[in-house]
Amino acid sequence: MDKKERVRSLYDQTSAHYDDRYWEIQIHKYSAFEKDFLTNKAPLIVDSGGGTGLLARYLNREIVVIDLSVGMLKVASSKYPNVHLIAADAEKLPLRCGSSDLVVSFSMIQNLPNPEKGISEIIRCSSHDGIVTALSKIISQDRLVELIEMFSVDYEVVDLSQEDVAVRFAQ
C-alpha cells in the first residue's frame, strides 16, 4: 500500500471522530489567519485537504473542501450544508489555474508523498493568496520555506506553535 492509500485509509477509519479530536487544535490555526479570512472577500475559498469541513464551520460560510478521504467528506456532507465537496488528490487539484482567490491547506502537506506537488497545486489554483501549514515534527519550518521558495511567490512565515509551521503567500 503506497503512502496515499495509507493516509486515505487512516482518515476514512478516523473520520467519525475527527471533529471531536481536532476542533480545538484547528481553531488555533484558523484564528492565526483571522484577518486573511475577514479581509478576503473571496467569493471562493478552497480548502485543500479540508477533510470534514471544519474550516466551513469556523468561518460559517460557503467553501470548497477537497480531500482524498471519502469518509471525511461524508462527515462534512452530513454536518455542514455550506460546503461543496470534491474527492480528489491534493497533488492534482481538479481546478482551473487561478480559479480561487484564497486556497488554504491546514496540516495536510506533510501527508503527501510529494509535498512540493501539493504546494504547486495550491499556488496554481490561487489567483491571489494562500496559506499552508504543516506539522513541524514532519516538515520543519526551513523545509516548508524551501518548498515555497521553489515557486515565484511572495511569502511570510507565520508563527503558530511549536507543533505547527505556517507560510502565507501572495501572488
The pLDDT tens digits of the residues spanning 107-129 come to: 999 999 999 999 999 999 999 88
Residue 171: pLDDT band with limits 50, 70, 90: confident
User: Average pLDDT for residues 83-110, to the nearest whole number?
Assistant: 95
Strand residue runs (E) in 6-125: 45-48, 63-67, 83-87, 100-105
What is the percent of the chain with per-residue pLDDT over 70, rounded to a whole number? 97
pLDDT of residue 41: 66
pLDDT, one tens digit per residue, over 8-60 is 999 999 999 999 999 999 999 999 888 777 666 667 899 999 999 999 999 88
Distances (CA, A) of 57 to 52, 53, 91: 9, 7, 25
User: All 3 cell numbers of residue 138?
Assistant: 514532519
Nearest CA to 44 out of 84, 8, 75 is that of 84
CATH superfamily to which 3-170 belongs: Vaccinia Virus protein VP39 (3.40.50.150)
Q: Is 134 helix (H, G, I), strand (E, B) or coil?
A: strand
pLDDT of residue 36: 73
pTM of the model: 0.94
Nearest CA to 109 out of 48, 32, 64, 22 is that of 48
For the chain, the average pLDDT equals: 92
pLDDT of residue 162: 79
Cα(23)–Cα(56) distance, integer angstroms? 12
